[in-house]
Amino acid sequence: MHSHAPKPTNLETKEKRRLIEESTKDCSEVKANVTPRQILSGLINQIKDPDAIAMMPSYDSDRQCIQRTRSECPSEPDCLKTIDIPTNLKETLTDNEGNTENFLLHDSGIDDQNRFFIYSTKKNLKLLENSDIFADRTFNIAPTNFVQVYSLHTLVDGICLPFVFCLLPHKTEAI
């Protein structure tokens, strides 16, 4: 009969690998050009035990894990028509009662040459109804295939918060 406890260093090594894979998937969904070093730097303080740190795999081993995980992720779409939004980006996070809400309010459709997306919730739109609305647009954070992120904000307890996000393929006001 096997009676000794598992080595804590093995558990921490497996946990680090799991965190690397999880962080890689999260980063790949948001922005494709995050380097392995950037992913690993976010995890550097996760392991505290000096023995576990000494037994950790090399940087090259961690980098290979990141590359393998990325190869399993879907590639970025090459045009607006091929964008397929995953469910986790169409709904809000689960609330305390286990409910989600639609977050993708509008997709102009794959046949639209100027395809655009509007993200918000019905609750957020209700809050905007009788409020002062501020608009903002930015270009440097727009995802691939889009040129600008347009957002609508309002004041809540004196703090300006975003309530609607639009991903737009052009800088024109036509949409």
Co-location of 42 and 88 in the same domain? no
- Is the confidence at residue 173, as pLDDT, over 60? yes
Report if residue 17 sits inside a domain: yes
Does one domain contain both 128 and 84? yes
The confidence score (pLDDT) of residue 8 equals 56
- Over range 46-61, report the average pLDDT: 78
Q: Are residues 85 and 63 in the same domain?
A: no
CA-nearest of 94, 92, 93, 120 to 106 is 120
Q: Which residue has the higher pLDDT, 85 or 108?
A: 108
- 48/26 same-domain check: yes
**Does 3 fall in a domain?**
no
3-state secondary structure of 11: helix
pLDDT at 71 over 90: no
90 lies in which domain range? 80-168
pTM of the model: 0.61
Percent share of the chain, pLDDT over 70: 89
Helix (H, G, I), strand (E, B) or coil at 21: helix
Q: Are 25 and 17 in contact (CB under 8 A)?
A: no
> Within this chain, do residues 98 and 149 fall inside the same structural domain, yes or no?
yes
Report yes or no: 103 and 92 within 8 Å, Cβ to Cβ.
yes
Q: Are residues 58 and 133 in the same domain?
A: no
Question: pLDDT digit string (tens) for 122-167?
Answer: 999 999 998 999 999 988 888 888 999 999 999 999 999 999 999 9
